[in-house]
Amino acid sequence: MVDRTLADSFQTIGVEYDRYRPGFPDAAADLILPEQVGTALDLAAGTGKFTELLVGRATYVQAVEPSEPMLDVLRAKLVDVAAHLGTAESIPLSDASVDAVTVAQAFHWFEPEAACAEIARVLAPGGVLGLVWNHSDPTCAWDRAAHRIAHPAVGENDQTTGSAAEDLPGFEFDSRAVVAWSEEITRDDYLRRWGTVSSLLVADGRTKAAMLAAIDRVLDEDPDTSGQTELELPQLTEVYRYRRIA
Ligand SMILES: C[S@@+](CC[C@H](N)C(=O)[O-])C[C@H]1O[C@@H](n2cnc3c(N)ncnc32)[C@H](O)[C@@H]1O
């Protein structure tokens, strides 16, 4: 069952999300769309961090997102993308109108059965569904420690963002791949990034301050980050590809 309080936490954030959250590697979009398609929809598009990778890989790009502040940023950045307010469970597009649907860092916020039925409805027969998540790299002790602080309920195994089941109703599983990459991020921005995750967005002021202080201490104490103002953060991007069953 999806925690709607956490899922809806993004209703209040846009500019900060765009400023501090990571993007996605080109390779992730290439795995989903190795060839150009006519129309692609980025569902739960946020501020357009994955949507921008669809530009050039699809002739027409559409975006659907329930948060107005997120959409405002997306519309300002990606003026050629048709952006709509909507949810995965009620997509404001007509039947069989898109060739590909992508969902980055968001499928775990959907009611899966209703969302799969809607995605299947808007996809043309044989159309492609791509699900994408950035994950922390298990070899990066300080980032893993920060994840455990921000998501205490998730425990050792991470992954806060879940993963797709290979079986999705109405879809045929095609492939799963993991793209390893890394980003340079300042220590300050890394801390501010944590302020944009759902568990901190819904936390009261004291709890949020305590979590950020605990992450700050991790950076002070870990030999790879202690005294550093610039951090090298490894990322693993997991990509699932499906086809709509005709
Ligand atoms: C972690 S953000 C990911 C945004 C963007 N795809 C990215 O990767 O930067 C999760 C997004 O899912 C959206 N979301 C939450 N519940 C949703 C739902 N039921 N249908 C569509 N989008 C939803 C939120 O508003 C938020 O923009």
Residue 146: its pLDDT value, please? Answer: 97
* Summary mean pLDDT of the chain: 94
pLDDT at 160 over 50: no
190 lines ligand 1 (CB under 6 A): no
pLDDT at 51 over 90: yes
Task: Tell me which residue of 103, 83, 88, 80 sits closest to 28, measured CA to CA.
Answer: 103
Q: Distance, CA 106 to ligand 1 centroid (Å)?
A: 5
Instruction: Write out the H or E segment, with its range, that includes residue 59.
Output: strand 58-65
Residue 220 near residue 229 (C-beta atoms within 8 A): no
187-245 pLDDT per residue, tens: 999 999 999 999 999 999 999 999 999 999 999 999 999 999 999 999 999 999 999 99
**Could you identify the atom of ligand 1 that is nearest to the CA of residue 42?**
6
Q: Distance, CA 122 to ligand 1 centroid (Å)?
A: 18
Please state the pTM of the whole predicted model.
0.94
The pLDDT-based confidence of 158 (bands split at 50, 70, 90) is very low
Q: Distance, CA 88 to ligand 1 centroid (Å)?
A: 9
**At residue 55, what is the residue type?**
V
Domains of the chain, with CATH numbers? 4-136+158-182+234-244 (3.40.50.150)
Burial level of 25, CB count in 10 A (0-12/13-18/19+)? buried
